[in-house]
Amino acid sequence: MAKILEIITKLNPKIRQKSIEIPVKKILTKEISTLLKDMEKTMIKKDGIGLAAPQIGENIRLFVINTKDGAEFFINPKILKKSIIKEWGEEGCLSVPNIFGKVKRHKKLICQYTDASGKEKTITAQGLLARVIQHENDHLDGILFIDKAIELKELKTTDIKK
């Protein structure tokens, strides 16, 4: 049974460490399989569009994205090509709660990765998917969106009177 993992925040120094690749022979182990299920459940429960391993204290090159076709796991991702054209978009992050800001990202990219079944894949992504891949891939290098963002704003939670 998958469990919900604790998401670490920007205050934890582990989130700023550069992650290491997962050895190919380890990808199909029960340990990684369990981690993938736990990360997927955590991302969905926390209403995230993506979740990187460093956000749960694991400094390995792995993230999951919630696509329209379900969870897609990116193991040892490498961005091979980025468009020259960039665009601004608003971002937030589960590790930087209630903070949002505009980040300039490449509009289109090509990413190579290993999926949950150990298959090598290459994806051409644009728009929101390209943005999420770049955001999550930044986590693998210890970079948070707030390092690149402008117009940061805090979402205030207000008390609802009964």
Residue at 50: amino acid letter: G
Which CATH class for the 13-154 domain?
Answer: alpha beta
Let me know: does 67 contact 130? Beta carbons within 8 Å: no
Residue at 143: amino acid letter: I
Residue 100 bridge partners (DSSP) = 153
Catalytic residue among 91, 136, 151, 154: 136
Clarify whether 136 is annotated catalytic: yes
Domain parsing of the chain, residue ranges? 13-154
Q: How far apart are CA 1 and CA 106, in angstroms?
A: 37
Average pLDDT value for the chain? 95
Q: How far apart are CA 105 and CA 135, in angstroms?
A: 9
pTM of the complete model: 0.94
pLDDT digits 0-9 by tens, 22-61? 999 999 999 999 999 999 999 999 999 999 999 999 999 9
